[in-house]
Amino acid sequence: MSTVLDFFEDARSLRDRAQRHFDEFQQLIGRSANPPLWEVKEYPDGDGGTFTYALHLNHDILTKVKPVAADAANNLVHSLDQLVGAAARLHGRGRHRNLYFPWILDEIAFERQLRALEQLIGTGAVTAIREVRNRHKAALPHIHAVKTVSNSGKHWALTPSTSSAAAVAVNLPGQPQKIWDIPPAAFEGSEAYDFAVGVQRMQGVPFMVLLQFAFEGLGEGVPASPDDIFSWAFRYVKDMIDAVDAVQNWRDPDPFA
């Protein structure tokens, strides 16, 4: 392995660690999770012929995913902090305790902080960072939502998650698909909602639940879908590391000398 690749090993390791945390996050809320986040339960009505079907939400899982999501977000953020630290070392700089990647959504503030980094990491690295950001400009609100999740977990409270069900559907043999809509307030103050009461038994058929999952409290207009914000953030971090790693002239002239 080359010297340059060795320098960026920590940044890549943190990104990979973030991926393992996000994989765990998805396993906790996925359809094959045990126990599942959402579960359809069957209850006999007592008259011997009809049944009630209820949709249950396992709130304990929403508690368990909070630190896992925070770990994934923290490691992504720190991955790029390690990136600029490695770039500074390769540019011949000593340890700088306030050296951070500019996780800033505002364009003017980002550019100001990036220019301040130039004397520490070099023109080539700064140019690479700017180019990657420009390529991902349309996704920056999603990418920076990960930073919000990270900040909340460190400085205030772990970011809570919410999951809602819009409908339950079932395909019964020889019949059209049956769909039950779930009211928006069905789970306020309750962990279960009876969506089918006094119906014939639907034994051995899989129920399909139309779900939504989101982070809460990220601010108005901030994307809240974990899949969206993390998928974009992982691409951004990978592209940023690869681009800075590819810079050849690590001893380019100090623009502030």
The answer on pLDDT for 257 being more than 50 is no
Instruction: Give me the residue label for tokens 């592209």.
Output: 239
Instruction: List pLDDT tens digits, range 44-66.
Output: 987 778 999 999 988 888 888 88
Instruction: List pLDDT tens digits, range 203-246.
Output: 778 899 888 777 876 766 666 788 889 999 999 999 999 999 98
The answer on pLDDT for 148 being more than 80 is yes
Domain residue ranges in the chain: 3-245
The answer on pLDDT for 248 being more than 90 is no
Distance CA 188, CA 251 (A): 60
Arithmetic mean of pLDDT, 177-188: 89
Of 74, 75, 102, nearest to 87 by C-alpha is 102
For residue 222, give Cα distances in angstroms to 156, 218, 230: 18, 6, 13
- Secondary element (H or E) of residue 64: helix 59-90
Question: What integer pLDDT is reported at residue 252 of this predicted model?
Answer: 47
103: left (phi over 0), alpha (psi -120 to 50) or beta: beta
Question: What integer pLDDT is reported at residue 105 of this predicted model?
Answer: 93
Please state, as a whole number, how many other Cβ atoms lie within 10 Å of the Cβ of residue 39: 15
Please state, as a whole number, how many other Cβ atoms lie within 10 Å of the Cβ of residue 28: 18
What's the whole-model pTM score? 0.80
Instruction: List pLDDT tens digits, range 3-57.
Output: 434 678 999 999 999 999 999 999 998 877 888 888 999 999 877 789 999 999 8
Question: What integer pLDDT is reported at residue 94 of this predicted model?
Answer: 66
Do the Cβ atoms of 118 and 256 come closer than 8 Å? yes
Question: What integer pLDDT is reported at residue 3 of this predicted model?
Answer: 42
- Residue with the bigger pLDDT between 148 and 102: it is 102
Question: What integer pLDDT is reported at residue 11 of this predicted model?
Answer: 94
Cβ neighbours of residue 103 closer than 8 Å, sequence gap 6 or more: 77, 80, 144, 147
Question: What integer pLDDT is reported at residue 235 of this predicted model?
Answer: 97
The answer on pLDDT for 251 being more than 90 is no
Arithmetic mean of pLDDT, 106-121: 94
Provide the sign of the torsion angle of the four alpha carbons 228, 231, 237, 240, taken in this order. negative
Question: What integer pLDDT is reported at residue 169 of this predicted model?
Answer: 94
- HSE at residue 45, side-chain half, CA atoms within 13 A, is 14
